[in-house]
Amino acid sequence: MQGYETDALKAQYLDFHYGEQTYFGVENYPKTCAKLCIQACKENHVPLNKALDLGCAVGRSTFELALGGFDEVCGVDLSSNFIKTANEFKDKKVMKYVMKTEGKLVDRKEVCITSLGLNSVSDKVRFEVGNAGKLDFDRFNSYDLVFGGNLLCRMDYPKDFLKNVHHLLNVGGLFILTSPCTWLAEYTEESEWVGGYENNSREVTTYDGIKEILKENFVEIKSPHEVEFVIRETKRKFQHSFAQATYWQKQNETDKHYI
């Protein structure tokens, strides 16, 4: 997690979340993910009361879930730097940051919560430092939506997280997960990988692993699909990636079926 505490990465994520410029025609990723969540809730008649945004980084998807209609949204991230930044943006309304162009040269940027149309929902959101895999279920529960954005393959124990995430949700609530499935031993021991390996000469994808674990408490309500995103590093260097989005609804024990 140390790499997520640097000012350089904070600026990179501020630009990723709140920068007004789009790259290569790819829409703002946190905003897109929030729209997918809201759409899924409406299609499945899930109330827009409480939402939990896990791996919220500097908070754009948290704001957007509130803007989409949720009465209360909590954003949680393991990075204290990211959460401090999200809270500062919520309170001060303006954030300044610098983005590298080349060498020691930078672009100086400023984002405003009002110009982004988010000020009207700032009282509906809150941000907390926390480990998504070790949340206190006495404090975190009864959510209508849990969104996990690009966090699964950066967790210490993603299998345990998937086994326990149902405790966060109301029956009928949605768990929506996006992941680029970039498993690395530096973040997650290989024995804890949900997918990305072979078992008895059979390929096990991350989707395979997620589905196997979640079938105990969830029904899959929509087929998985790819969500594109671009992160700028410098003026001429970008991360261009695709995350797989999967959709799950918490079921009663006696009411399970699968697509």
Query: What is the per-residue pLDDT across 44-78, written as a single tens digit (0 to 9) for each?
Result: 999 999 999 999 999 999 999 999 999 999 999 99
Phi/psi at 62 (nearest 5 deg)?
Answer: -65, -50
| Sign of the torsion formed by the C-alpha atoms of 204, 207, 210 and 212 | negative
β-pair type (197-199, 202-204): antiparallel
> What is the per-residue pLDDT for 4?
60
In this predicted structure, what is the pLDDT of residue 2?
47
pLDDT tens figures, 181-225: 999 999 999 999 999 999 998 999 999 999 999 999 999 999 999
**Is the pLDDT score of 258 beyond 50?**
no
What CA–CA distance (Å, rounded) separates 16 from 30?
8
State the architecture of 2-250 in CATH terms: 3-Layer(aba) Sandwich (3.40)
Whether pLDDT at 1 is above 70: no
Tell me what pLDDT residue 254 has.
47
% of the chain residues with pLDDT over 90: 92
Helix residue ranges per DSSP H, the chain: 7-18, 29-43, 60-67, 80-92, 158-164, 206-214
- The pTM of the full predicted model, rounded to 2 decimals, is 0.94
The pLDDT value recorded for residue 5 is 67
Name the DSSP letter for residue 142. Answer: -
